[in-house]
């Protein structure tokens, strides 16, 4: 087969904007599965190609697996066998895209590239998610390694202190979003082909204005106390009478509203505040000590001032019950993409091989 399915051809698989789009995923753990879950939430039919032992994330916990694989199908294949390769070709012939996150050598060895699969479907979009690029070798590229390698960890933490990592997998998740975008862009083009997304490149891209300041102005990134923004003042975390408050004042209107409420004066212009960072921060810190973080949030938000009390994850989830969904008995965070007229249907995570593969021949 060489023509492949036309975009949107065939009966709809669901009621989302991606209904009719069929995506194969040969992914594991986080970045690849997260990318395809976003697509499934929007109505794509996602078939997860799992090795005989299953996605490694099944070994972490059932809830972990569900958080990245709701609403998918599972086919269990041994891609090192002739039978597994034949079945892969059959699946590719009827699909719009294949997304894989593995080491480059494994991607090629298992025939998961466009060059290997185009004989089955010339319009197939093949997305390879790797640490450093499909031609860059197999160096270990876990999330935390990428954050260290791209300067993210060095930018995080207090001045003079050790580098710090965030409490979640920011590189994996960010790469997943970029991969989903690349996959859809190539499908829309109407052409098959190879798409590459590397975790390293994604994180460097997300350092946009930091990198631009260095490349164009020679300004080397530096850490500021309390996570302060490099340009805007005051824009950082502040201690209060009880708890911490994130205050993010960018332009003068915000500052005017804040100072009126806080009972302080001076530094009306953005450039003036930036030039007197330490004095402004000291002034704001003293004012915020007079009330609690939660009270400041309630006082400042109606005035349009960007401010939020620092919440724990349980507190944040309790404050946004609309984001909690049910998928096969699991309570999960729903899709961040809202499409007018579309109500996502969150299916359960699949059982290993639930939709075919090795189990058919056992």
Q: Each residue of 270-325: pLDDT tens digit?
A: 999 999 999 999 999 999 999 999 999 999 999 999 999 999 999 999 999 999 99
Whether 236 and 247 have beta carbons less than 8 Å apart is answered as yes
**pLDDT one-digit tens code per residue, 195-215:** 999 999 999 999 999 999 999
User: Which pLDDT score is estimated for 5?
Assistant: 61
ω before 234 within 30° of 0 (cis)?
yes
Please state, as a whole number, how many other Cβ atoms lie within 10 Å of the Cβ of residue 158: 12
The DSSP secondary-structure symbol of 227 reads G
Question: 258 by DSSP, 3-state: which?
Answer: helix
Place of tokens 């590229």: 141
Work out the pLDDT band at 4, boundaries 50, 70, 90: low
d(CA 215, CA 223): 18
d(CA 73, CA 25): 10
259 CB contacts (<8 Å, ≥6 apart)?
A: 265, 266
Is the pLDDT confidence value at 187 over 90? yes
User: Which pLDDT score is estimated for 98?
Assistant: 98
List the domains of the chain with CATH numbers: 22-206+342-361 (3.40.50.10540), 225-239+244-309 (3.30.1540)
d(CA 362, CA 358): 6
**pLDDT one-digit tens code per residue, 103-132:** 999 999 999 999 999 999 999 999 999 999
Checking 326-329 for CB contacts under 8 A at 24+ apart, the result is 327/66, 327/70, 327/71, 328/66, 328/70
Place of tokens 């989830």: 317
Is the pLDDT confidence value at 7 over 50? no
**pLDDT one-digit tens code per residue, 72-105:** 999 999 999 999 999 999 999 999 999 999 999 9
Closest alpha carbon to 100 in 179, 174, 184:
179
User: Which pLDDT score is estimated for 358?
Assistant: 80
Q: What is the mean pLDDT of the chain?
A: 94
193-198/235-239 β-pairing:
unpaired
**156: phi then psi, degrees, rounded to nearest 5:** -110, 135
Average pLDDT of span 238-264? 98
Please state, as a whole number, how many other Cβ atoms lie within 10 Å of the Cβ of residue 153: 18
**pLDDT one-digit tens code per residue, 27-65:** 899 999 999 999 999 999 999 999 999 999 999 999 999
User: Which pLDDT score is estimated for 282?
Assistant: 98
């Amino acid at each position: 087969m060489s023509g492949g399915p036309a975009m949107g051809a065939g009966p709809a698989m669901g009621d989302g904007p991606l209904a009719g789009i069929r995506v194969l995923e040969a992914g594991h753990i986080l970045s690849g599965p997260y990318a395809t879950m976003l697509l499934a939430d929007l109505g794509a039919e996602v078939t997860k190609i799992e090795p005989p032992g299953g996605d490694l994330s099944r070994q972490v916990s059932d809830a972990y697996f569900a958080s990245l694989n709701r609403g998918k199908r599972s086919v269990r294949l041994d891609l090192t066998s002739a039978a597994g390769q034949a079945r892969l070709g059959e699946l590719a012939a009827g699909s719009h895209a294949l997304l894989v996150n593995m080491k480059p050598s494994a991607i090629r060895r298992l025939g998961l590239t466009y060059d290997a699969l185009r004989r089955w479907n010339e319009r197939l979009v093949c997305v390879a998610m790797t640490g450093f690029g499909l031609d860059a070798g197999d160096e270990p590229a876990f999330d935390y390694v990428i954050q260290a390698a791209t300067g993210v960890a060095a930018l995080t933490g207090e001045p003079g202190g050790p580098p710090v990592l965030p409490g979640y997998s920011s590189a994996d998740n960010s790469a997943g979003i970029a991969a989903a975008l690349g996959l859809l862009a190539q499908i829309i083009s109407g052409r098959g082909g190879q798409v590459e997304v590397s975790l390293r490149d994604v994180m460097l891209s997300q350092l946009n204005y930091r990198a631009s300041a260095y490349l164009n102005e020679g300004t080397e990134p530096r850490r500021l106390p309390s996570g302060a923004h490099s340009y805007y003042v005051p824009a950082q975390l502040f201690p209060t009478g009880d708890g911490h408050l994130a205050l993010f004042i960018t332009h003068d209107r915000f500052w005017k509203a804040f100072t009126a409420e806080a009972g302080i004066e001076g530094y009306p212009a953005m450039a003036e505040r930036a030039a007197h960072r330490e004095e402004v921060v000291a002034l704001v810190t003293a004012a915020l000590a007079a009330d609690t973080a939660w009270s400041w949030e309630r006082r400042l938000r109606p005035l349009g001032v960007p401010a939020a009390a620092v919440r724990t994850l349980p507190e944040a989830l309790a404050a946004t019950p609309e984001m909690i969904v049910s998928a096969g008995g699991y309570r999960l965070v729903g899709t961040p993409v809202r499409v007018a007229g579309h109500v996502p249907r969150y299916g359960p995570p699949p059982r290993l091989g639930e939709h075919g593969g090795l189990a058919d021949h056992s």
